[in-house]
Amino acid sequence: MLCNMQFKACHIADLLNCIADAISREQWTRFRDLQPNADINPQKILPDITRLILEMKLDDLYRCINFAAEAYRIGFASFQYFCKEYCLENIWPPPPSHITVFIAFLSLSGKSHNAAITYLSSINFRYKTAQYIDFSQNFIIKKMLEGMKRSNKRKDTRLPITEEILSSIIINALPSVFFSNFEATLFSSALDSLFMVCYK
């Protein structure tokens, strides 16, 4: 069916459920029996729907393309800045030694593993478009990225819940959530009991 449209009609009651079921299974004679007054030529609205769906998909695609292009531009610009700042030769394609030093620079400057992957992807994209060998499969580069992923673990800044935090939640939040004071008191006693059971 057009645009792979399916109806999930298990929650629709009676005749509408049968109609939706007939449409989703493409049983047009059954649909005509159930709905004899339906438009005989529904094709006139399909191009509008199709155009609307295509426009939505294209908008999503353009957003993704713009985001990727901007990320690649930033990544490649940072590599060029790094090469200029640290007096590395400006040769193209850059040798793997430049890439490994750049990965070390990213790691020491506190960039995340995902940021490093994006930066290297921007350089690798230029490699591939110029038909040079893909450096992402280089053993040393792969191992450096794996090490960066392991060493860049972010600390968990969340604190465990304490009695003080729990009591402030219960005192401040619960009365505004429930309709009656009785419900808030009942729920706060349940939370207190649960916390004490888990605390032990």
Domain match, 124 and 186 both: no
Residues 78-131 have pLDDT tens digits of 888 888 888 877 777 778 888 888 888 888 888 888 888 888 888 888 777 777
Please report which confidence band the pLDDT of residue 7 belongs to, taking 50, 70 and 90 as the band edges: very low
Residues 70-86 have pLDDT tens digits of 888 888 888 888 888 88
Residues 30-46 have pLDDT tens digits of 777 777 776 666 555 55
Domain match, 11 and 57 both: no
Amino acid at 89: E
Domain match, 179 and 124 both: no
Domain match, 74 and 116 both: yes
Helices in the chain by DSSP H: which ranges?
14-24, 28-34, 46-85, 96-108, 113-129, 139-151, 163-172, 174-177, 181-199
